[in-house]
A and B are shown apart, each in its own frame.
Chain A
């Protein structure tokens, strides 16, 4: 299994899209830090870009990769290997190589310019988001047979997590603004890994004061050590649940 993962990673890292992804991240992060003289401001600008690009590339690249590997997966299934091993190796290969690209692209610049707790949390969330969105793409591509529909679903899922969810939350907030919903907001963030990462990083920069009363509740909840731990657990759940569901589906799938 280890060797299989190694070869899959070697294959992915040599693809042109992966190299472009790394270079774009590298260019963006270095230029952001070069423009902003204050590293924590730089982190803030970089945050929005990373929360946009990392999930997008992770979900779409891995969806396309899985569909393109259809015949290769069939060949692996015809070998003496349990299906679970094949599926999890594909996952490990994709998640690790996307994380490596993120590390080489954005992580590098963050370590140089903003080597702080916030910077490290940002690197960690970038890696976690890569894992989460690869897992979500696995669930989408194992459920949908048609490649075009599958890629469409991946784009819709990304759109939902990156934009639609926030619109829904905003709508919810205005509708119920007269009720004490601050605690509910904390629970609501757990439903979107991108929002969760954003809150986590904002809390570590001094801008959280601008988030009002809800911000204070967030600070109270996620700012502490146990809050961070809960956030980490939620992110892991976001990886394990889609991956587990997709593995069960793949085990019973007709190829």
Chain B
């Protein structure tokens, strides 16, 4: 559904993305993980057209996104930090987004809106809201338009445990509807049971892209966090072995 091909991006002298390629298929729930500054957010921003890659291309349902903006009709995005104009009320923000998407009211998904009880806060100004409440509004906006693809950047950061669980249930429900979901998160334990594939980024390069079954089989670990740690250790070990092999060969 989304295909990323050989994209590279440089900010000044700093190479943020280095020849990254991977495919995201429909019905998958993909975790984008990696240390801070490994280029996760830049990939997401590239998919959304916020960052223009220096080289390479991204296509959405087979069409190149470079000069197109209509494909974003099919993407729901939840940013890492949601900041809105201070004096706009929640109701106005929701109305404005509905107006941009132009989706008939019958097709709008109000599930999160009800579950987070946003209705009681409709007249509150965005500037007076806590970080967690703003995050709830962001989540509502991302899921409201029944988009085919959902991109969630650190969705549970700042959410209380109950809301976090509501969001998790919602993600699971959307996954069953055969949608593509891309999540970045640092808390790997909350991704268990949710995701079907993991993409691991490091220093702007793709380190591995495996399905969960594959990861579990290869490492013998059941939990995602352990499986990924084991996978990295294995790869490092192999690299070190290769290194010593070369050294001995030189000697």
Which of A's residues lie within 8 Å of B, judged by CB? 3-4, 7-8, 10-12, 14-15, 68-72, 74-83, 252, 254-255
Contact = CB atoms under 8 A, between A and B. Distances in A.
A70 B72 CA distance: 19
Interface of B: 9, 11, 45, 48-52, 69-73, 75, 77, 79, 81-88, 92, 95-97, 99-101, 138, 141
A69 B85 contact: yes
A80 B72 contact: yes
A220 to B, nearest CB: 48
Nearest to A251: B52
A255 B45 contact: yes
A78 B50 contact: yes
A71 B82 contact: yes
Given A74-B79, A75-B79, A79-B100, A254 B69 contact: no
Contact of A78 (B75, B81, B83, B85): B75
12 contacts: A3-B99, A4-B100, A8-B85, A10-B92, A12-B87, A71-B79, A78-B75, A80-B72, A80-B100, A81-B72, A82-B69, A255-B45
Given A77-B49, A255-B50, A4 B99 contact: yes
A126 B70 CA distance: 39
B81 A254 contact: no
B1 to A, nearest CB: 17
A76 to B, nearest CB: 8
A254 to B, nearest CB: 4
Nearest to A14: B87
A4 B45 CA distance: 23
**What does DSSP make chain B's interface, helix, strand, loop or mixed?**
mixed
A79 B84 contact: no
Contacts of B81: 71
B76 to A, nearest CB: 9
Contact of A15 (B71, B87, B95): B87
* In the A-B complex, the 9 residue pairs with the closest CB atoms: A71-B83, A14-B87, A11-B85, A255-B50, A78-B77, A80-B73, A80-B72, A78-B48, A254-B51
B96 A3 contact: yes
B112 to A, nearest CB: 16
Nearest to A15: B87
B60 to A, nearest CB: 12
Contact of B69 (A10, A14, A68, A81): A81
A76 B82 CA distance: 11
A72 B51 contact: no
Most chain A CB atoms below 10 A, which of B75, B84, B96: B96
Nearest to A82: B69
Nearest to A12: B87
A7 B92 contact: yes
A62 B184 CA distance: 33
Nearest to A8: B85
Nearest to A2: B99
A13 B155 CA distance: 32
A69 B86 CA distance: 9
A70 B83 contact: yes
A79 B72 contact: yes
Contacts of A14: 87
B86 A11 contact: yes
Contacts of B138: 75
Given A11-B92, A80-B101, 8 more contacts: A68-B86, A75-B84, A76-B100, A77-B48, A78-B50, A80-B69, A80-B72, A254-B50
Nearest to A81: B100
Contacts of B50: 74, 77-78, 254-255
B39 to A, nearest CB: 13
Contacts of B86: 11, 15, 68
Nearest to A69: B85
Nearest to B93: A7
B160 to A, nearest CB: 22
A255 B75 CA distance: 18
B46 to A, nearest CB: 9
B83 A72 contact: yes
Most chain B CB atoms below 10 A, which of A4, A14, A69: A14
Nearest to B85: A11
Nearest to B134: A71
Most chain B CB atoms below 10 A, which of A11, A14, A77, A255: A11
A72 B45 contact: no
